[in-house]
Structure 1
């Protein structure tokens, strides 16, 4: 008989596409892990674009394994290969659980989400560093150049906790207004440039601003050949939930490089509202309506974007619908 913990982990969804070959210049991958529970409903879509290898990963875990009733959502955008994103998708939530349990052992002390997240990300990054430092082979040298951004979103009954490392993004739609829950870590961001240059690093404009002329994000997990300039430390933001919260978009930069927060939220809101009306007429549940529409959202953004076809981009998007 499975233990309660094993039962909970069996409900955790980790989706990625390690490789994909197609005669099409654009290939779209859809996740099949949508579920509903309580007041949230969620689903995700991944598009491989022109790439042969899908380096993104996404993880969704229901309440029951973290402290309190928190949902776990995460998107990982790999580069240089898919190994780091894959590892994050498979293990970062388990690593987070261990650090939460460690923090809970301190009596009468409120959980410090920032400390827990920073320690969790650091542990994962150290694991990658240990693996690549054991061998100086050509393969290990290649793995030193692999990395992944990470945006982790925990949705509780009263708050939303976001830990972001890199240029993936989380955006909340509240009362029709797009509210960023994270800030992109770009080399030309003033505080990031200052941090990197203060320790001897260089920000070079090589087809866009890049750390040492190579990496277009200033924070990530992995990328050990660019340490200490590229750090794995996440920025953590905690937001109180509101009765006006509608949905959260969690996506890698392939989406937000093409459309802004406002456009993305407008399209998602239009899609979900349209489908909700259809289901109300048929007597089906609101949750079912939202689930049915989530996978269509990205494709409508594709048709309503800024003139650049999203279909040629590689990205992953998770939509978390909040219904009251």
Structure 2
């Protein structure tokens, strides 16, 4: 308990008795402060440095604290601090950010002149958490009914993920994609009535019919590669340095190598409103369609290309678009749309969605008679 002092300062200016005790208390506090650990803060004579710190926003101070926490933390048993540790901490933070970020993309699907919508679109950025920056996009064009395309939308990316995990790395993309497509084909072959959607026409044809299938064009975007797996007549087109680069070739029955394969298996290609397998199916590869095996197979063709600084965007679309638009025309429409929508050098997801919608509208304006599904993925790196 502190001393209470009573008295009046004398006219001669002598200090009261309590002043000496107050000085002693100050001296004790000074000694205590000297014993406490402190952080030296550089201070200029005019106090500008202290004033700057006092007016620093709290969010900025919080971010500095987070950086310091990363730099002084322990990673895998090693201290991250000064020197090389700072660069390691930055690498860790960049890796964490890259796993969260994904390329801008947009999609559009329209029924068009068809009675039913049988297309499906899969959009799965960062679909595999064990891989840094892996993004999955797919377009599935169903025929006969919608349930095979819907099943591919719900399951194919999961099968790809399982294959990658079983192989413990990204060593063989071609084998992983082929295995995933074969497994998907087996899953749709054992479909029962409960799997179909409420609007599925197959409910009117018990037991489950085997005359339903779907094309599949799948793209996996990595930080340095573009992997395309295509089965059917959907298509992937890359715009690189202003030019259209097809990354898949349509599986049509009149394609020379496909025609030879079908005939070698004992099948025929009959022209009925275009070339068709046994006069029925207008494509030579698809998931499902058990009644046309072994002439129609589910094996995809896999294309792997390295990403370059000139890559602008990737288009995945069903044949409802490609029946009425060339690769160059489609890329020109998207470039025009993204060029008008870009603000400050950045392309937003709305711009990609607008480009996809514009492509679908152009296809309808050109009298496309099929469902139209489009995915546009921006590939420009920041």
Separation in structure 2 between the aligned mates of residue 93 and residue 39 of structure 1, nearest angstrom:
17
Q: Which has the larger radius of gyration?
A: 2
The aligned runs of 1:256-295 (5 Å cut-off) are 256-276=322-342, 279-280=343-344, 286-288=346-348, 291-295=349-353
The answer for the alignment partner of 2:380 in structure 1 is 323
Separation in structure 2 between the aligned mates of residue 216 and residue 272 of structure 1, nearest angstrom:
34
Find out whether 1:62 has 2:125 as its counterpart. Answer: yes
Relative distance call for 1:140 and 1:185 in structure 2 (3 A) is: farther
The answer for the alignment partner of 1:158 in structure 2 is 224
The answer for the alignment partner of 2:149 in structure 1 is 85
Q: Deviation digits for residues 180-239 of structure 1, max 9, x if unmatched?
A: 111110000000000010010000000000001000010000000001100000000100
Is the 2:122–2:139 Cα contact (8 Å) retained in structure 1? yes
The answer for the alignment partner of 2:165 in structure 1 is 101
Relative distance call for 1:301 and 1:85 in structure 2 (3 A) is: closer
Is the 1:62–1:72 Cα contact (8 Å) retained in structure 2? yes
Relative distance call for 1:318 and 1:110 in structure 2 (3 A) is: closer
Is the 1:47–1:313 Cα contact (8 Å) retained in structure 2? no
Is the 2:141–2:216 Cα contact (8 Å) retained in structure 1? yes
Query: Which of 233-242 and 50-59 deviates more?
Result: 50-59
SS in 1 for 2:284: coil
Q: Deviation digits for residues 88-119 of structure 1, max 9, x if unmatched?
A: 00011111111111111xxxx86211111111
Is the 1:302–1:309 Cα contact (8 Å) retained in structure 2? no
Separation in structure 2 between the aligned mates of residue 235 and residue 100 of structure 1, nearest angstrom:
18
- Return the offset for 1:300: 4.0
Find out whether 1:187 has 2:250 as its counterpart. Answer: no
Find out whether 1:177 has 2:243 as its counterpart. Answer: yes
The answer for the alignment partner of 1:219 in structure 2 is 285
The aligned runs of 1:1-324 (5 Å cut-off) are 38=101, 40-63=103-126, 65=128, 67-104=131-168, 111-131=171-191, 139-140=205-206, 143-276=209-342, 279-280=343-344, 286-288=346-348, 291-298=349-356, 300-301=358-359, 308-310=366-368, 312-324=369-381
Is the 2:309–2:380 Cα contact (8 Å) retained in structure 1? no
- Return the offset for 1:307: 7.4
Structure 2 gap ranges (5+):
1-99, 193-202
Is the 2:109–2:360 Cα contact (8 Å) retained in structure 1? no
Relative distance call for 1:115 and 1:130 in structure 2 (3 A) is: same
Separation in structure 2 between the aligned mates of residue 96 and residue 243 of structure 1, nearest angstrom:
27
How many equivalent pairs are there? 272
Relative distance call for 1:141 and 1:260 in structure 2 (3 A) is: farther
SS in 2 for 1:40: coil
- Return the offset for 1:297: 2.5
Separation in structure 2 between the aligned mates of residue 287 and residue 303 of structure 1, nearest angstrom:
21
SS in 2 for 1:154: strand
Question: How well do the aligned residues superpose, as a CA RMSD in angstroms?
Answer: 2.3
Superposed structure 1 runs of 4+ greater than 6 Å apart: none
More strand by share: 1
Separation in structure 2 between the aligned mates of residue 317 and residue 302 of structure 1, nearest angstrom:
7
Structure 1 gap ranges (5+):
1-36
Q: Which is bigger in relative contact order (C-alpha 8 A, separation at least 6)?
A: 1
- Return the offset for 1:299: 5.1
Is the 1:39–1:323 Cα contact (8 Å) retained in structure 2? no
